[in-house]
Amino acid sequence: GNSVTQMEGPVTLSEEAFLTINCTYTATGYPSLFWYVQYPGEGLQLLLKATKADDKGSNKGFEATYRKETTSFHLEKGSVQVSDSAVYFCALGKAAGNKLTFGGGTRVLVKP
Amino acid sequence: DTAVSQTPKYLVTQMGNDKSIKCEQNLGHDTMYWYKQDSKKFLKIMFSYNNKELIINETVPNRFSPKSPDKAHLNLHINSLELGDSAVYFCASSQPSARSNTQYFGPGTRLTVL
């Protein structure tokens, strides 16, 4: 079946540091890949997505590239802010109304 | 102009009670979902409806019964609540296509069973 593995947190960084959160997946066919973010006390927000191999999703300074050869979709941001403190979820989904399969989430804490 | 809304936001109740959580989306999507997030933040699909028809029913106790009166609404009724039902329940919706299935989530309902 489908599965998503992402690095366990918490990840603690200083402001303006570089952030990488690793995500690898197992799936049949060609899933879409997503990063969702959950700020404290809030629901999940879509951060970025990629629907095919070599696509790069980007939003709010975050980027992730769909790498089929390594089955990965690592999230990166060059300079984090305190406001980026949240839990980040990697997910994969197949088309046509299918469910999303989530990784376990990675808590990121950015200190001033 | 909230896209996916849920009520209530918080729900505290005693074991054995029956409760409902409501979800509405104004995105015009055909598909809606319920997910459960446990205390360790792990998210798992429970149900999915497409245009009022059940299409995904994961291994969920039959005390949980979803109902979709129309494609903009998906409610979750839980009978005989147990301590282990305490979690955050998220509703989501999407308009699936051949290329993608981006899902949009509601703010969540935090259920606490005492």
pLDDT tens by residue, B23-67: 999 999 999 999 999 988 899 999 999 888 888 888 789 999 999
Greater confidence (A73 vs B95) lies with: A73
Nearest to A62 by CA among A40, A42, A86: A86
Averaged pLDDT score across all residues of chain A: 93
For residue B91, what is the enclosing H or E element? strand B87-94
Residues 1-20 of B with CB under 8 A from A: none
Residue of B90, B100, B108 lying closest to A51 (CB–CB):
B100
Average pLDDT over every residue of B71-79: 95
Q: Do B94 and A97 touch (CB under 8 A)?
A: yes
Predicted local distance difference test score (pLDDT) of residue A66: 96
pLDDT digits (tens, 9 = 90+) for A40-60: 888 899 999 998 899 999 999
Q: Do A100 and B41 touch (CB under 8 A)?
A: no
Q: Do B42 and A104 touch (CB under 8 A)?
A: yes
Predicted local distance difference test score (pLDDT) of residue A13: 96
- Chain B residues inside the 8 Å CB shell of A47: none
Q: Do B103 and A102 touch (CB under 8 A)?
A: no
Q: What gap in Å lies between CA B88 and CA B90, rounded to an integer?
A: 7
The reply to whether B109 touches chain A by the CB within 8 Å rule is: no
The reply to whether B51 touches chain A by the CB within 8 Å rule is: no
3-state secondary structure of A103: coil
Q: Do B108 and A87 touch (CB under 8 A)?
A: no
Q: What gap in Å lies between CA B4 and CA A103, rounded to an integer?
A: 23
Q: What gap in Å lies between CA B100 and CA B98, rounded to an integer?
A: 6
How big is the A-B interface in CB pairs under 8 Å?
76
Residue of A38, A46, A105 lying closest to B102 (CB–CB):
A46
Q: DSSP per residue over A52-91, as a string?
A: STT-EEEETTEEEE-BTTTTB--EEESS--GGG-EEEEEE
pLDDT digits (tens, 9 = 90+) for B12-25: 999 999 999 999 99
A94 pLDDT band, cuts 50/70/90, is: confident
Q: What gap in Å lies between CA B26 and CA A31, rounded to an integer?
A: 26
pLDDT digits (tens, 9 = 90+) for B83-102: 999 999 999 999 877 666 78
Q: What gap in Å lies between CA A49 and CA B97, rounded to an integer?
A: 15
The reply to whether A30 touches chain B by the CB within 8 Å rule is: no
